[in-house]
Amino acid sequence: MEPTGPCGFCPAGEAQPARYTCPRCNVPYCSLRCYRAHGTCAEDFYRDQVLGELRGRSASPSRLASALRRLRQQRETEDAPEEPWWWGRRDGPLLEELDDTPGSDAAEAEPSFPFSTRRESAKDASAEPLAPEPVLGDPPGACTPSVPTRIPTLASLSRGPVSPLVRFQLPNVLFAYAHTLALYHGGDDALLSDFCATLLGVSGALGNQQVFASADEALQAAAHVLEAGEHPPGPLGTRGAMYEAARILLGESPANQKGYTLAALGHLAQTLGRARKQAVAREEQERLYRARKKCQFLLAWTNENEAVLTPLALDCAKAHRAHAMAAEEVTALTGELERLWGGPMPPAPRTLIEELPG
């Protein structure tokens, strides 16, 4: 429905005709300035949509999905559901709501992703903060990626207008970042070359300057590389990498939504710069240089376009849910076939007519 009447946020006597409507409360507004005055309402609406997609509140009506649920109840040896790899349940109520598996044993596990923080309970909130202690198994030198202190303006990096398709490179880059970081457990200097080779191989945006027309296309391009077996599989898998890309885009809170994305891009730019210094081949140096420049450009773009992150997170959540439903149906079909066959392999064909020796 087209908005009608004057803007509800312009100063008295200066109201402009409304051009947009808030998706949550239908209040009309005319410009980006007035949207920002009311932006929290719209952002909360989109955030609720993202959380709903990631929770998967409604069960699939598919018969195969129902068969899978029955099959899981019958199998006592069914594997435990895959747990999210990094943002642990100790990172605040937002990340608790995003958890796919509330009440699981992993809720007590130590967070292993660098962005994770260990928060004390409310009763200890006034206690003196302690220095972080190293965790057994952490990679040497592992630390929390931070937002770069100096981020260039977009105008200083691009003279002409920026393509509206730039936004769709973020899901592709963050998918590859999540997969690679999980695979190499944070990125040891000894594995820096392998880390960057996997990163640039999975992310077409970084490795081949690939352009995407949608977030789904960007995610599917990265997923196709993993599923084709061109690079080592990681603990997240395709669905897990989509899930974590959505969580990075959501950020820590509405007040600082871009923080995780900026920290991830800054971490990538720094890592690619270190790898370029170690590279010997000229071609490899140039490839790493272009990828680093792309991360720096996306860093500047994200810093000035925070409002776009929530719709991108919603697109990632939808892709994650669609992939999960497809996997559910395949698993259910496999279970039904195994039940009919009486095992994991089809029975040998029966001989209907046997020629007797003469």
**Measured distance CA(105)–CA(110) in Å, rounded:** 11
Which residues, 6 or more positions from 323, have their beta carbon under 8 angstroms from its beta carbon? 223, 238, 239, 242
* Count of positions (residues) in the chain: 358
Domains of the chain, by residue range, sit at 59-74+83-100+141-341
Number of Cβ atoms within 10 Å of the Cβ of 1: 5
For all residues of the chain together, what is the average pLDDT? 73
Q: Is residue 6 classed as helix, strand or coil in its secondary structure?
A: strand
What pLDDT is stored for residue 117 in this prediction?
A: 38
User: Tens of pLDDT along 51-85?
Assistant: 666 555 444 444 444 554 454 455 433 343 343 33
Radius of gyration of the chain (CA): 24
pTM of the predicted structure, to 2 decimals: 0.61
Output the DSSP codes for 172-203: HHHHHHHHHHHHTTT--GGGHHHHHHHHHHH-
What pLDDT is stored for residue 91 in this prediction?
A: 36
Q: Specify burial of residue 97 (Cβ count, 10 A radius: 0-12, 13-18, 19+).
A: middle
**Measured distance CA(188)–CA(1) in Å, rounded:** 54
Give how far Cα 220 sits from Cα of 174, 241, 322, Å: 13, 11, 11
Number of Cβ atoms within 10 Å of the Cβ of 323: 19
The enclosing H or E element of 269 equals helix 259-278
User: Tens of pLDDT along 283-319?
Assistant: 999 999 999 999 999 999 999 998 899 889 888 888 8
Q: Could you identify the residue written with the tokens 């899901």?
A: 171
What pLDDT is stored for residue 123 in this prediction?
A: 36
